Amino acid sequence: MDRTFVMVKPDGVQRGLVGHIVSRLEAKGLKLVGARFETLLEPRVNDQYKEHLEKPFYPSLKKYIMGGPVFLMVWEGRNAVSIVRKLIGATNPQEAAPGTIRGDFGIDIGRNVIHASDSNESASREIAIHFKTADISSYTRIDAAVIYEY
103 three-class SS? helix
Domain contains 140:
no
Contacts of 43 (CB under 8 A, 6+ apart): none
| Whether the predicted model's global pTM rises above the 0.75 cut | yes
Task: Give the other-Cβ count within 10 Å of 81's Cβ.
Answer: 21
Tens of pLDDT along 38-68? 999 999 999 999 999 999 999 999 999 999 9
Q: Which domain covers residue 8, as residue numbers?
A: 2-132
Domain contains 143:
no
Domain contains 144:
no
Per the structure, the count of domains in the chain is: 1
Domain contains 148:
no
The CATH number assigned to the domain holding 13 equals 3.30.70.141
Catalytic residue list: 115
Q: Where are the beta strands (DSSP E) in the chain?
A: 2-8, 31-38, 70-77, 114-116
Tens of pLDDT along 70-86? 999 999 999 999 999 99
Q: Please say if the pLDDT value at position 150 is more than 90.
A: no
Tens of pLDDT along 92-144? 999 999 999 999 999 999 999 999 999 999 999 999 999 999 999 999 999 99
